[in-house]
Amino acid sequence: MGKGEYLGEFEQIVLLSLARLRSEASGRRIYDELVDVTGREISVAAVYITLARLAKKGYVRSSLGEPEGAGGKPLKYFSLEPAGARALRESHDQWQRLWRGAQFHPELKAK
């Protein structure tokens, strides 16, 4: 991870879904997973664009799977690269360190 570079929120979400899906991580599986887990409306385009960006940074590797059906184009599958795993871990640690010292006023405490 380069100096001063950190993962954006959406990038983290996408990387985490990769870690959860392992070998089944095609673009559309990732989208479904994210919609299911986060319950948010998510942009299909954003998923692909983010994946492409992460691949460029060397965090993610893509490979072509079996063509689906006759004449169908093969789906692209994505998996975590060591650098990606490291970045994800580092982000997680960062957050943990920050959380550790956090104190909340009683009124603000979540139910």
Partner 1 sequence: MRSPRIPTFMLRRVLPAEVREEVLRDLDDRYEDLCRWGGRWAASRWYWAQALRAVGPAAKDRMPRHTRTPVARRTRERLESVVGDITLAFRAFWRSPGIIAVAVISLALGIGANTAIFSVVDTFMFRPLSFTEPERLVHVYATLPERGWNYNEVSIANFVDFREQSRTTDIAASYARDFNLSSGDGPERINGERASWNYFRVLGVQPVHGRTFTADEEQRGQHHVAIVSNGLWRRRFGAAPSLVGQTVQLDGEQYTVVGILPPTFRWYGSNTEIWTPFGLAGDESRGSNVLKPIGRLRPDATLEQANTELSGIARRLEGAYPESNRGWGAGVQGLHGLIFPEQFETGSLILTVAVAFVLLITCANVANLMLTRVVRRGREIALRRALGAGRGRIVRQLLTEAMIVSVFGGVVGVVGAYIAVPVLAGLLPGTLPRVEDIGVDGRVLSFALVVTLLTGVLVGIAPVFHSSRSNITDALREGGRSAVGVRGVGLRKLLVVSEVTLAMTLLVASVLLVKAFWRVQTMDYGWGRENVLTFRVSLPEAQYESGETVTGFYRELLSRLASDPAALAVSGTTIPPLQGNTNTFFGVPGRETPSIQQRPLTEFRFVFPGYFETMGIPVLRGRGLGDQDRPTTQPVVVINEILADRYWPGESPVGRQVRFWGETREIVGVVRNTLDVRHYAEPMMFMSAFQYPRRDMGLLIRTVGEPSSAVELARATVADLAATLPIYDVRTMEEAISERWGGETVVAKIMGCLAVVALLLAVAGVYGVISYMVSQRIREMGIRMALGAERVTVLRMVLRQGATLTVTGVAIGILIASFVTRSLSFFLLGVNPYDLTTFGTVALALCVAGVAGAYLPARRATKADPLDVLRAE
Member of 1, 12, 16, 48 binding partner 1 (CB under 8 A)? 48
Q: Measured from the CB atom, is 72 or 106 closer to partner 1?
A: 72
Minimum gap (Å) between residue 48 Cβ and partner 1: 4
Is residue 57 at the binding interface for partner 1, with CB under 8 A as the rule? no
Q: CA-to-CA distance for 53 and 50, rounded, in angstroms?
A: 5
Place of tokens 């009124």: 107
Q: What share of the chain is helix, strand, coil (3-state, %, to 5)?
A: 60, 15, 30
Site for partner 1 in 19-38 (CB under 8 A): 27-28, 31
